[in-house]
Amino acid sequence: MADDPNKSASDRKIAIQIDPQQGNGVYSNLMMISHRKEEFILDFMFLQPQKAGKGQAVATLRSRVITSPEHAKRILRALQDNVSRYESTYGTIEEATDIPKVMH
């Protein structure tokens, strides 16, 4: 049976399948974003509390997400909406101040 052409994309349901390893997720406390015309690259990292030689911070890449500019904009909108709702419920989120400046 074909999809109803009168239904909007937001009215359609999506069945999500996830394997157990992915379902556990990964912890990230640092993210770097880069882009080019065709895509955005989101690198999620874990910034370790211990330092490497010469006091240098150590970050380990945990996950990389590559997505289209259109989807990146949807992600931005969804994050803005969720942060707003979170802050309405739990109060203002303070930004971290101990992140190395070169990582913004």
Q: What is d(CA 68, CA 40) in angstroms, rounded to the nearest whole number? A: 6
- Is residue 103 pLDDT above 60, yes or no? no
For residue 41, pLDDT over 70 is answered with yes
Question: Is residue 34 within 8 Å of 41, Cβ to Cβ?
Answer: yes
Query: Quick check: 48 pLDDT over 90?
Result: no
**Tokens standing for residue 97:** 């101040």
